[in-house]
């Protein structure tokens, strides 16, 4: 299910990312900061456990609390890499694996070239990819993660198109996909409108 995270700080930072005149540095900084802000909401249902008693400076006793399960961040290369540090700022002990894929520019079908996640099957896997356009890439990423035996999966994206939302919701009614904006549509070459252009190129300055 697509879950929209709305926050004034995210809106301001996203508008900087959408501006074609923003620099690569501004683009990366805003993506990184939005990823941190989204993490708070996207992980708010995580279970915690209390491990041992600790003492506060007042002499009072409280329990130390930690996450019940490990977190694995799974950025989809390349653009998902731009979200990793922002999420990890909030979850410093998260492990990181990579899912390598690109969209064939003519067919818009994803092509996978790499998959490596830490081997902790009961971890919560958080797939990261800023752009959910047709939904093909995130679907292939979810299928791969499942195929490798992970069952607890959620996704954090930045912008979704209605086409991708429909595709993902029909195919994965049990998986939460957090987004910061629902845009209007795809254009004739599969880019999100109004969108922000090619996320990977803007993060890495490849165009
Ligand atoms: C972009 C984006 C997603 C995909 C979304 O990656 O980061 O992975 O397109 O499109 P979809 O929903 O239609 O599958 P791209 O293929 O441009 O690769 P890159 O990150 O290496 O530039
Ligand atoms: N990938 C991008 O980077 N941008 C889009 O608008 C669609 C797919």
The burial class, CB within 10 Å (0-12 / 13-18 / 19+), for 7 is: middle
pLDDT value for 207: 80
pLDDT value for 163: 97
Interval between CA 102 and ligand 1 midpoint (Å): 6
Atom of ligand 2 nearest to the CA of 193: 6
Interval between CA 49 and ligand 2 midpoint (Å): 39
Specify whether the backbone of 13 is left (phi greater than 0), alpha (psi in -120 to 50) or beta.
Answer: alpha
The finding on whether 198 has its CB within 6 A of some atom of ligand 2 is yes
pLDDT value for 178: 98
Residues with CB under 6 A from ligand 1: 76-79, 102-103, 108, 110, 129, 131-137, 164, 190, 198-200
Mark the ranges of the chain whose per-residue pLDDT is less than 50: none
pLDDT value for 119: 98
Atom of ligand 2 nearest to the CA of 192: 6
The closest residue, in CA terms, to atom 7 on ligand 1 is: 79
Q: What is the pLDDT of residues 147-195, one digit of tens each?
A: 999 999 999 999 999 999 999 999 999 999 999 999 999 999 999 999 9
Query: In sequence order, which ranges of 43-160 are alpha helices (DSSP H)?
Result: 81-90, 136-147
Stated length of the chain: 207
Distance (Å, whole) CA 136 – CA 164: 8
The closest residue, in CA terms, to atom 4 on ligand 2 is: 198
């Amino acid at each position: 299910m697509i879950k929209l995270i709305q926050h004034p700080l995210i809106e301001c930072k996203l508008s900087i990312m959408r501006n074609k005149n923003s620099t690569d540095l501004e683009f990366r900084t805003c993506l990184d900061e939005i990823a941190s802000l989204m993490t708070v909401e996207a992980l708010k249902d995580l279970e915690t456990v209390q491990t041992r008693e600790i003492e506060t400076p007042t002499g009072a006793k409280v329990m130390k609390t930690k996450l019940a399960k490990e977190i694995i961040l799974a950025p989809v290369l390349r653009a998902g890499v731009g979200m990793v540090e922002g999420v990890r700022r909030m979850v410093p002990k998260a492990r990181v694996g990579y899912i390598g894929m690109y969209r064939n520019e003519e067919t818009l079908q994803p092509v996978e070239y790499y998959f490596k996640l830490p081997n902790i099957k009961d971890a919560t896997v958080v797939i990261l990819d800023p752009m959910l356009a047709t939904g093909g890439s995130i679907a292939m990423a979810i299928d791969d993660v499942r195929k490798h035996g992970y069952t607890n999966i959620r996704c954090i994206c930045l912008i979704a198109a209605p086409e991708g939302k429909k595709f993902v919701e029909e195919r994965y009614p049990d998986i939460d996909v957090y987004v910061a904006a629902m845009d209007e549509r795809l254009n004739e070459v599969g880019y999100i409108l109004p969108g922000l252009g090619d996320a990977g190129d803007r993060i890495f300055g490849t165009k």
